[in-house]
Amino acid sequence: MAEFTLDALGWNEWFASQSSRCGGNDGIARVAAVDRDQLLLVGKPGFFRARPSGKYLHESADALQRPCVGDWVCVEKTAQDQFGVVHAVLDRRTSLRRKAPGASVEYQMIAANVDFVIVVQSCHYDFNLKRLERYLVMVKDGGAIPLVLLTKIDLIAPDVLAAQIAEIRSAGITEPVVALSNVTQEGVDLLRSVLAPGKTYCFVGSSGVGKSTIINALMGRDVHETRDVSGTGEGRHTTVRRELDLLENGAMVIDNPGMRELGVFGAEGGIEASYPDILALASHCHFRDCTHTNEPGCAVLAGLDGGRISAGHYQNFVTLRKESEYYRMSYAERRKKDRDFGRFIKSAKKDLEDD
């Protein structure tokens, strides 16, 4: 089995201050995949299986605290044990999370400690600027660096691609954009040249845009299943788990299931980072707590009227901010209710004990 150094797996000084929690570097590994209650870890000895300790699971009821792909963990394993036992997750340098799909207001971790997030959209049917802005907010909020990847350029005319890139730029998005075709291979080498050894790249996007196909191409073999899309480009949700792979050049890539929903939740930092033009105007608003929707003396609305910001860009900003705050508030409220309920149960139990 291959041997690795922690540095090659993305370990750096930022994490080093936490190694004492694991009793030194030998007890440290990185999460490569999560399957229900089992973890696939990669560490100095290579890939091996582990489980979170009962104590750890008990103490970390919160979904955000459970190990996810990309996490660094403290693990104990002897040569005789089939499974390692994980008893701590180290603090994350970056995290990629969204609102869990469906009605519940919970966070869902997508990946931890990724350096770059590659936001993938297909030029064919999938291209959507609003959704792209939503992804960028999420990525920036978690502290990773976003890159934009447009796939399937073989299916569209060059001027359509040029128009899509122009649209991205006119929305003030300055992130690098790579366009490629997995069919003609055009652009694949360019993407490969961007991926640096020891860095982690997380691929996200809708189902069917070609995330697994491009990772297979980068790996040079078919490590992931891929499946045809419908006539109108809809994917079939082929990939079902998040998985970290090591490329030959030493870069790490994480494949993900296609995302249907991308709720933005408690992501004010990401919104600020994504709309610097609007924020610059906002500092001139008459009211300090201006919501930029109907207040007199609002510099953002004036900028909108004067054509300094586009209507679509402004609308996205307002929508994302409202959504993020709404979810954050209902999350806080529910938390408080849970806490109050917990206190109630505790005192009720105490009453019983006292009797």
Question: 140: Cβ–Cβ under 8 A, 6 or more apart, which residues?
Answer: 146, 269, 270, 273, 274
Q: Where are the alpha helices (DSSP H) in 222-310?
A: 268-274, 276-282, 299-305
Q: Does 229 bind ligand GTP (CB under 6 A)?
A: yes
**Contact stretch for Zn ion (CB under 5 A) within 78-86, 165-173, 250-258, 289-297:** 289-297
Q: Does 212 bind Mg ion (CB under 5 A)?
A: yes
> Which CB, 186 or 248, lies closer to ligand GTP?
186
What would you measure as the largest C-alpha separation in the chain, in angstroms? 80
Nearest Cα to 45, choosing from 29, 57, 21, 34? 29
Give the chain's count of helices (H) and strands (E): 10, 13
Contact 267, 137 (CB under 8 A): yes
Q: At closest approach, how far in Å is the CB of 122 from Mg ion?
A: 12
Q: At closest approach, how far in Å is the CB of 340 from Zn ion?
A: 36
Sign of CA dihedral 12, 18, 20, 21: negative
Nearest Cα to 279, choosing from 312, 319, 309? 309
Q: At closest approach, how far in Å is the CB of 151 from ligand GTP?
A: 5
Contact 10, 199 (CB under 8 A): yes
In the set 70, 208, 263, 266, which binds ligand GTP (CB under 6 A)? 208
Element holding 325 (H helix, E strand) = helix 311-354
Q: At closest approach, how far in Å is the CB of 206 from Mg ion?
A: 10
CA distance 30 to 138: 23
In the set 300, 304, 309, 320, which binds Zn ion (CB under 5 A)? 300
Contact 205, 148 (CB under 8 A): no
Q: Does 216 bind Mg ion (CB under 5 A)?
A: no
Q: Does 298 bind Zn ion (CB under 5 A)?
A: yes
Q: At closest approach, how far in Å is the CB of 217 from ligand GTP?
A: 9
Q: Does 210 bind ligand GTP (CB under 6 A)?
A: yes
CB atoms closer than 10 angstroms to residue 177: 17
Q: At closest approach, how far in Å is the CB of 224 from Mg ion?
A: 6
Q: Does 181 bind ligand GTP (CB under 6 A)?
A: yes
Q: Scanning residues 239 to 278, which ones bind Mg ion (CB under 5 A)?
A: 239
Nearest Cα to 121, choosing from 184, 169, 69, 165? 165
Q: At closest approach, how far in Å is the CB of 171 from Zn ion?
A: 20
> Which CB, 136 or 150, lies closer to ligand GTP?
150
**Contact stretch for Zn ion (CB under 5 A) within 42-50, 88-96, 133-141, 294-302:** 294-302
Q: Does 164 bind ligand GTP (CB under 6 A)?
A: no
CA distance 85 to 199: 26
Q: Does 228 bind ligand GTP (CB under 6 A)?
A: yes
Q: Does 290 bind Zn ion (CB under 5 A)?
A: yes
**Contact stretch for Zn ion (CB under 5 A) within 107-115, 126-134, 137-145, 288-296:** 288-296
In the set 55, 169, 227, 260, which binds ligand GTP (CB under 6 A)? 227
- Identity of the amino acid at 296: P
Q: At closest approach, how far in Å is the CB of 152 from Zn ion?
A: 40
Q: Does 233 bind ligand GTP (CB under 6 A)?
A: no
Question: 243: Cβ–Cβ under 8 A, 6 or more apart, which residues?
Answer: 32, 33, 40, 69, 224, 254, 255
Binding site for Zn ion (CB under 5 A): 285, 290, 292, 298, 300
Binding site for ligand GTP (CB under 6 A): 151-152, 154-155, 181-183, 207-213, 226-229, 235-239, 257-258
